[in-house]
Structure 1
Amino acid sequence: MNAHALFAPCLRFLTACVVVCSALAPARAAEAVAASAAAEPAVAASAPDTAASAPAESQRLDERIQAVKGDVIRLNRDLLVLEEELLFPANTQVAVFVSMDVGKLFELDSLQVKLDDKLVASYLYSPLEVQALHRGGMQRVYLGNLKSGTHEVVAFFTGKGPHFRDYKRGATVKFDKGTEPKYIELRIKDSTGKLQPEFDVKVWQ
């Protein structure tokens, strides 16, 4: 049985737990109010106490449901991390990221990444995603496995360059994959001296 077959049912179960907890919250609160009202005689003197206890019981129930949701989210995160470790072990793992420095001279539209002449990633960017890169964000566009040895990564960037001209550039690098994970950063930078965007690839050791 592969990792997807093992983890997919677990993730569906966790999602169902969150949905059920959210759906039960109003019903449980209503039951708490009804139980409080039925437990006390219909006496005018006891009405304020009943009214005060019902919101308190509802609040405690909401707090318990939120705690369960938090536990489910944490467990879901741990399962995703474990799944990633099983699918992409450290000795074969390679990840490709995209970053942008300033970005005033280039407006990114799309990106293609080839690894050993094989297309492994193709992405179209929205304006909000480009803004996130401008603010220092880093996007992981590829995660996979590679055998030990020499490999080559090639990236093609398309977008608008200076004076809103269509711009397409490429960047490439060869690297050696050993027994450690390999992280590759595709960097888009402004060259103020040349008044042109620059594209390069950095392999992190």
Structure 2
Amino acid sequence: MPVIANMDSFHKLLVAAALGALSCAALAQQVSKEQIKGLDEQVQDIKKDVLAISSELQLLEEKLLYPSNTQVSLFVSLKGNGKLRLDAVRLKLDGQDAANHIYTFKELEALQGGGVQRIHTGNVRTGEHFAEVTLIGKTGETDFQQVATYKFKKAAEPKLLEIVVDRSESSGKVIQFKE
């Protein structure tokens, strides 16, 4: 009988060891889930920091590349709801190519919804300058192209110039400028 008692104790010891191993594995799994959750939160915090730093660097880069005393920015906006569909804009500043842009469907939707697109930011000296804008598009089934020039004076502060595309039927002059 002592052998059977020893076998029974051995089985109990074996079962206890197995239960202990299972509870340790469950505890380890729980700890690793908590650790993973903590690591995930740290990664999200690092992502936020990186995005904030990137935004700050972009602003600093813009200030360095385009100082306020020489900065000129041009924007494009739409007004009216005629049949004119804007396909592309070509911009020249003082006779030099400054920007060419072909519009996607989503960009046109944004402009039609009241959005404004920055088409160019650059440096010019103080004094008189001129911008030449060429619009390419369609009115119904016919091709449309119009060129307009605008003379502006650049002072020491940044210059903002809006190119307004008037799509209303009554307007003969599609391109308008607004400072």
TM range (shorter): 0.7 to 0.9
User: Could you tell me which of 44, 57, 65 is aligned with 1:79?
Assistant: 57
Mapped to 2, the partners of 1:96 and 1:47 lie a distance apart of: 64
Q: Are 1:103 and 1:188, in contact at CA under 8 Å, matched by a contact in 2? A: no
Q: Which structure 1 residue ranges, 5 or more long, are not aligned?
A: 1-40
The TM-score with structure 2 as length reference comes to: 0.82
The residue identity in structure 2 corresponding to 1:174 is K
Shift of 1:72: 0.9
Shift of 1:49: 2.7
Mapped to 2, the partners of 1:178 and 1:195 lie a distance apart of: 31
Determine if the alignment matches structure 1 residue 147 to structure 2 residue 125.
yes
Flag the 1:72–1:111 CA change in 2: closer, same or farther, 3 A: same
> Which gives a bigger RCO, structure 1 or 2 (Cα 8 Å, sep 6+)?
2
Mapped to 1, the partners of 2:147 and 2:109 lie a distance apart of: 22
2:13 corresponds to which residue?
none
Q: Which has the higher helix share?
A: 1
1:66 corresponds to which residue?
44
**Helix, strand or coil: the match of 1:172?**
strand
User: Could you tell me which of 165, 170, 181 is aligned with 2:142?
Assistant: 165
Q: Are 1:190 and 1:197, in contact at CA under 8 Å, matched by a contact in 2? A: no
Shift of 1:80: 1.0
Max Rg structure: 2
Mapped to 1, the partners of 2:125 and 2:113 lie a distance apart of: 35
Shift of 1:118: 1.5
The TM-score with structure 1 as length reference comes to: 0.72
1:179 corresponds to which residue?
156
Flag the 1:195–1:176 CA change in 2: closer, same or farther, 3 A: closer
Shift of 1:76: 1.1
Deviations 1:144-178 (A, max 9, x none): 111111111111101011x3211111222211111
**Helix, strand or coil: the match of 1:171?**
strand
Q: How many equivalent pairs are there? A: 161
Mapped to 1, the partners of 2:81 and 2:75 lie a distance apart of: 16
Flag the 1:178–1:195 CA change in 2: closer, same or farther, 3 A: closer
Mapped to 2, the partners of 1:44 and 1:169 lie a distance apart of: 78
Determine if the alignment matches structure 1 residue 201 to structure 2 residue 177.
yes
RMSD of Structure 2 on Structure 1 (CA)? 1.9
Percent identity for Structure 1 against Structure 2: 34
Q: Are 2:79 and 2:168, in contact at CA under 8 Å, matched by a contact in 1? A: no
Superposition pairs of residues 1-205 of structure 1, within 5 angstroms: 43-161=21-139, 163-192=140-169, 194=170, 198-203=174-179
Mapped to 1, the partners of 2:57 and 2:35 lie a distance apart of: 33
